[in-house]
Amino acid sequence: MGGSKGGDGREEREDADGTLPEGSERSGLLRDHADARQVAADETKAAPARTADRHAIVALDPDHPGFRDPEYRARRNRIARMALEHTPGGVLPDAPYTAEEDRLWRTIVEALAPVHERLACAEYLEAARRLDLPNERIPQLQEVSARIRALSGFRLEPVAGLVEARAFLESLADGVFLCTQYIRHHSTPFYTPEPDVVHEVLGHAVTLASPRFAGLNRLVGEAVRRTPSAGELERLAHVYWFTLEFGVVREEGQVKAYGTGLLSSVGELDAMSRAELVPLDLEQASRTEYDPTHYQPRLYYAGSLDALESSLSRFLRAWPSAAGS
Ligand SMILES: [Fe+2]
């Protein structure tokens, strides 16, 4: 999700030179998406009360790749503070990325590009061409947001870190994607224990440049707005996970990714070929648990993006009456 990620690092991530921090599986550091968002929100909620301490905004786990890098932590805090002080609807603040971080972005983009050509769905590739993001530096959210808005009406708003699932999902109804702005630590280019600008931009922002995916994201938000119950909200979050985060589609006989968690991660795309593929069943998906700390062993596929759009739209528009709870 946004302010969320489809991780670049899961347990089988021996492909990358970003090494998995010792003990991160045990500590739950890799948890992300809706579940961890809830946990981390407790930290960000407390942030305004701690504004006197300029180093206390972002609490990194000791296993975090950037934990022992004071400059990185200070930059994370500056970026988090900018998001906290941002007025929604205003011009998005530029993040103070370093030359090293721009190189990190380039490394990731160059690793993903050939994999995307093989494994990304055609609509993602077309949206990426239309967005025309820079390869040599991290794009600022303002420019990304402006380009998406022109293409689909969606826009980005910065968040300091993980936000609650309901806040994240409901904002989609307004055509707003809550977006983290920091980038992962440069020591682990293909691993991040949390959502970062790579996942947000290369995963979510690119797909949101497609009117089809923008529309589906809006429908998720509208369905969440009609869902007061936490249990039903969780089911919708599962639907989001198994479709817009980790969905795959058959195109010309091949399996292609349309889910943002897959598209933003070389490791996830690589693991996709080993996953069990199950025909998309939204009712079943809404009741299926998942483990965000591992590469996804089971993915739901749609026969085509038209079929996905049709079934997901129908399901979300009928929600909660068709939820069968
Ligand atoms: Fe995500």
Task: Give residue 258 CA to ligand 1 midpoint distance, Å.
Answer: 12
155-183 pLDDT, tens digit each: 999 998 888 899 999 999 999 999 999 99
Q: Which of 5-14, 189-198, 212-221, 290-299 has the lowest mean pLDDT?
A: 5-14
Q: How far is the CA of 220 from the centre of ligand 1 (A)?
A: 14
pLDDT greater at residue 25 or residue 59: 59
| Most confident among 57-66, 142-151, 291-300 (mean pLDDT) | 142-151
Q: Of the residues 170, 200, 232, 245, which is catalytic?
A: 245
Whole-number average pLDDT of the chain:
85
Is there a contact between 12 and 295 (Cβ–Cβ < 8 Å)?
Answer: yes
Counting the structural domains of the chain, the total is: 1
Residue 103 within a domain: yes
Average pLDDT score over residue span 191-212: 95
199 catalytic? Reply is yes
30 pLDDT higher than 60: no
Residues with CB under 5 A from ligand 1 (ion): 1, 4
The active-site residue out of 64, 86, 116, 204 is 204
b/e 260-298 (16+ beta carbons within 10 angstroms → b):
bbbbbbbbbbbbbeebeeeebebeebbebebebbebbee
Whether 8 maps to a domain, the answer reads no
Q: Is it the case that residue 9 has pLDDT exceeding 70?
A: no
More confident residue, 182 or 17: 182
Instruction: Give the domain range for residue 204.
Output: 24-318
Concerning whether 64 is annotated as a catalytic residue, the answer is no
Cβ-based burial of 27 (10 A; exposed 0-12, middle 13-18, buried ≥19):
middle
Phi, psi of 248 (to 5 degrees): -130, 160
Distance in Å, CA 177 to ligand 1 centroid: 10
Q: Which residue has the higher pLDDT, 34 or 314?
A: 314
Distances (CA, A) of 175 to 85, 153, 182, 198: 21, 7, 22, 20
The pLDDT assigned to 294 comes to 82
Q: Is 282 inside any structural domain?
A: yes
Q: Is residue 324 part of a domain?
A: no
Please report the pLDDT score of residue 6 as a whole number.
45
Torsion of CA 120, 64, 168, 102, to 10 degrees: -50
Q: Report pLDDT for 24.
A: 33
For residue 61, the model assigns a pLDDT of 87
13 in a structural domain:
no
Catalytic residue flag (residue 204)? yes
The tokens of 290 are what? 């998942």
Tell me, yes or no, whether 6 lies in a domain. no
Supply the CATH number for residue 58's domain: 1.10.800.10
H-assigned helices in 174-303: 197-198, 206-208, 211-225, 230-240, 260-263, 266-272, 282-286
Q: pLDDT band at residue 97, thresholds of 50, 70 and 90?
A: very high
In a domain, 16, yes or no: no
Give yes or no for a contact between 197 and 33, defined as CB atoms under 8 angstroms apart.
Answer: no
Residue 289 lies in a domain: yes
Please say if 185 is a catalytic residue.
Answer: no
- Give the pLDDT confidence of 303-319 residue by residue, as tens digits: 999 999 999 999 999 99
Asked whether the predicted pLDDT for residue 13 surpasses 80, the reply is: no
- pLDDT band (50, 70, 90) for residue 194: confident
Would you say 216 and 313 are in contact if contact means Cβ atoms under 8 Å apart? yes
